[in-house]
Chain A
Amino acid sequence: MKIVIIGNGIAGNKVAFSLRERDKQSDICILSAEAYPEYDPCSLPYFLGGEVARKDLFRKKSVDYQQHGIELLPSNKAVSIDPDAKKVTTGQGAEIGYDKLVLAHGGDLFFPPIEGIRSEGVFNCKQLSETEKLKAHKGRRAVVIGSGAIGIEVAEALKKMGYEVFIVELLGWILPTLFDETTARRLEAALDGYGIQVFTGEKVLRIQGDPKVTAVLTDRREIPCDTVVVATGVVPGTGLAKTAGIETGRGIKVNKKMETSVPDIYACGDCVETFDACTDETAMFQLKHNAIEQAEIVARNILGENASYLGAYAFARTHFFATHAVTFGKTMRATECLLGKSELIERENGKDYLRVVLLNGRVIGGQAIGRYADAAGLLIGAMWRKDDMDRLRSNWRQLPSSGAVSFWPAISLAQLLDPNNRL
């Protein structure tokens, strides 16, 4: 059997190496648009900021592929798929036949339609090659467009490199999909304290300067700068799947076995549209842990195991300098349109802040800054299990201490949610 994997990222590698662990016979081939062995995009901002060496970005070495009998075709971008002839055509014009095909080519950086966005001095941090260009660039004032997790990480890295840094966010607060306004405002204040200025609710109209960037013009001000970083989000890559007539929505559609609508073609990672493990809603969280878990399901199904995906989950942390925050599940804002009784529990202690979102007495999301964040895992566990928090809050004091080895997380959780408890 010949298994062809498109994309040499986190998901593609997980499929290839998991397959190889249990199947020593099949031909496994990875098509890669990039020139390197597998590296981790999550590490890129820390490489940019000089916290880690280039070699530490890599999850694989070239020899790992050879040693596992996995054929890696670097700098070979897949451009079209012919599902009837069962072959993939690459940008180099090569045609590669497959028995099973895996789409693991991730997402594409979203470039908003802003005049000047392709000017000299405009960078992004999506891939290693782009990040290296930014790292080699010598600038002094940078504007980061977009304040998602990546935008914030890049802003911190640039600050560490000695830049004066500004962030422009279109929506009302930073990290808008991950955090509610109250939490985000605190993080914004923290950023400000570290000398990173944030402008929210502002629209970038134009990147000025020809050919080199000289300023970013928003609907409220002009920010002179010599560097711009585009961090406006990643959209699932669907173009390639469309060449094969595969059904797509916002991402490539897959069933619980991670099969696409076309036989023998699977998809996993940032390119798919999947469902939330807790709420069943359509989900495209584009996070590494989801890519890894989906890839494992693909590998098991190719091996004939009949494995079902349990769903994706939202979990992200953000940290800059000495500020640490975490978010999981749904935000309060995302909950507003749901039926049922929603409840917000908030706690604060100086710079530490906790907000837990309950729906009908069950945890469905939460955000925390500082010390409260250390308990995130307990809350995530309660969310998974759909623990009844109303019951817990009324009976936790009566829980016996015998058997505490299994009870203590519940007691600890109840104390965390109890506003009368000093924590």
Chain B
Amino acid sequence: MEIRREQLLIDPEKCTGCGRCLMACAMQHCGSVNPSLARIKILPLPSHEIHVPVICMACEDAPCIKVCPMNARLRQANKTVVTNADVCIGCRACVYICPVGAPAIIPYTCQTMTCDLCEGDPAGLWCVTACDEGALTISKSDRLTSDKTRARARLARLDTKPV
């Protein structure tokens, strides 16, 4: 059974890399338009003339929760996984195990931060509003997230062998 939840979907073909979502994100969470405080990273892939907004997908079986030595990665009520800044020591295990390297580093504290879907904000998701290109949308369906792909890869392999 799948847990139905909201998820932020990205479309690298539409993203122009303008960075407005970064500023909106930083503004919502830190009250500052400093893009280095955003929980979104924009990865340019010039060979294909695309930009990828990299965002935490809150995997169902999130590996970052299991590898964090401080147990700082916490699942919230809205199913997002966020870093508890009271205990994060900035070791980056969560960045390295993440299938897309989503956790961003707060430059001042070296701690990590990830998307919380603007939890509790009646204005909705600031990045979605900020993106004029429609590269960021919110979906309530349960599309494949990378961890499922990974679990499947592991299973597919096992299927080929006697257990």
Q: Does A61 contact B (CB under 8 A)?
A: no
Q: Does A399 contact B (CB under 8 A)?
A: yes
Q: Does A409 contact B (CB under 8 A)?
A: yes
Residue-wise, chain B 1-29 has the 8 Å CB interface mask toward A (1 for contact) of: 00000000111110000000000000000
B63 touches A42 (CB 8 A): no
A404 touches B70 (CB 8 A): no
Q: Does A289 contact B (CB under 8 A)?
A: yes
Q: Does B138 contact A (CB under 8 A)?
A: no
B153 touches A386 (CB 8 A): yes
Q: When chains A and B are docked, how far (Å) is the Cα of A384 from the Cα of B14?
A: 30
Q: When chains A and B are docked, how far (Å) is the Cα of A56 from the Cα of B68?
A: 13
State how many angstroms separate the Cβ of A324 from the closest Cβ of chain B.
Answer: 5
Q: Is the interface of A mostly helix, strand, loop or mixed?
A: helix
A293 touches B66 (CB 8 A): yes
Q: Does A308 contact B (CB under 8 A)?
A: yes
**Stretch touching chain A among B86-94, B116-124, B126-134:** B86-94
B92 touches A375 (CB 8 A): no
Which of B12, B63, B71, B150 touches A405 (beta carbons < 8 Å)? B12
A interface, size bucket: 35 or more
B interface, size bucket: 35 or more
Contacts of A315 in B (CB 8 A): 67, 96-97
Which of B69, B90, B101 touches A288 (beta carbons < 8 Å)? B69
Contacts of B48 in A (CB 8 A): 399, 401, 404, 411
Most chain B beta-carbon contacts within 10 A, residue among A40, A43, A292, A415: A43
Residue-wise, chain A 390-410 has the 8 Å CB interface mask toward B (1 for contact) of: 000000110101101100110
Q: Does A374 contact B (CB under 8 A)?
A: yes
Q: When chains A and B are docked, how far (Å) is the Cα of A310 from the Cα of B159?
A: 11
B contact set with A: CB distance below 8 Å: 9-13, 43, 45, 47-50, 52, 63, 66-67, 69-71, 86-87, 89-93, 95-101, 146, 149-151, 153-155, 157-158, 163
- What are the 8 A-B residue pairs with the smallest beta carbon separation, nearest first? A42-B69, A289-B66, A385-B153, A404-B12, A376-B96, A326-B96, A401-B48, A377-B98
